[in-house]
Structure 1
């Protein structure tokens, strides 16, 4: 064997010996590579899923899910106190003057009237203060499951929130009158001092004046006792009827009037269905 052949043989032997003594440096089988690729894909997915579950667990209140219309099918004290809190937030949104005092009153009310499962009032307030509130849906749930005395208590609570600053502005008055109608609160159950605020100091007046809520019903061609389902159906019907593109044969002036009517329908629906 010549020198070159001997050198090549010796080099090959060294390489083979190195692979045997350092198995970690040997090529990874294709089957193991596929497993590693699967792990690289699965680990981030698992971490993301666990993080999502953690975030969901932080939202302890079903009321937040109610925004997606997932309403409980039966009454519970916890759900009812949630609704009272959200309806109070809707009142605060109408006048944020003395916000901290109103927030404190909500805490006090829940603490005095509820001793069950912990209710995170701050979470509910913060979530809905700048979000939409399905007002009609919440009131209809109360009408279906809550007793009259509970609805009367809710109305009185909302009135307390509104009058913390000893003043009832138009938006607050409209809201309270709307609650009276939806909850069918009897006039004799409303304190006289509150009737003075609500009915323009006229104790003889037994019916509330027309306000924005009731004009919304008129725009949607509904009566004041219309349900959330009826409001949605009327909205869909009128949107089709008054959409500017629904009647292309009209003159520019007629199309302008149609667009204005369409805008009124949208605003009336939004006013009734969310706050």
Structure 2
């Protein structure tokens, strides 16, 4: 797949608003005059769309009653690239293990060729100064809640790639989660999947240790539904592995509490 075809596949609502400006600048550092199938400048056309009435981000902001557009794999990929670049710079340095994690995750999700294109773009994105609030506002407006939860899970994976989530990284992910309208309970649930402590199983299920066995069972059913991989099936099979990992951790948390309390 050529670079221009890959970009063409990745373009959706993410090529409007601040995300589009960031990706456009990153593309400018890679190739000059990318063209689409009819030979016209691909980037130039999309920049024109952003200025015109067809900009989906602008339309969504001005009409809250308008239906949220369906997030596709490319939109998720672009959002991931930008947010990952923010987290990876949170502690003032770019650890090679974190960069390797990003590349490996892209390879696992998209295959080697597409991952190479994405990582090339990612490295140019990391060179930019990005407004976290503006980017997250666009993602919050345009992206469904299950997909936003998946973004937070991935960001914790990046931060943990070097063996520890630093305080600066944690604060940055917390800030991103807030801008994405992720509740504190959901944030703590995903965070607990990357830490080892005696009450992590309860945090993953978003309950306290004082709840009854019946409440544990109800919490498990609720969380299994919230994190079920089918909730992000619209993103494509490439994102199922991450969703399945969250779902698996919910199951493991429930089994841990079952064993600890001795109920079935």
Normalised-by-shorter TM-score class: 0.3 to 0.5
The answer to which structure, 1 or 2, has the higher relative contact order (CA under 8 A, 6+ apart) is 2
Which structure has the greater CA radius of gyration?
Answer: 1
TM-score computed with the length of structure 1 as normaliser:
0.42
TM-score computed with the length of structure 2 as normaliser:
0.44
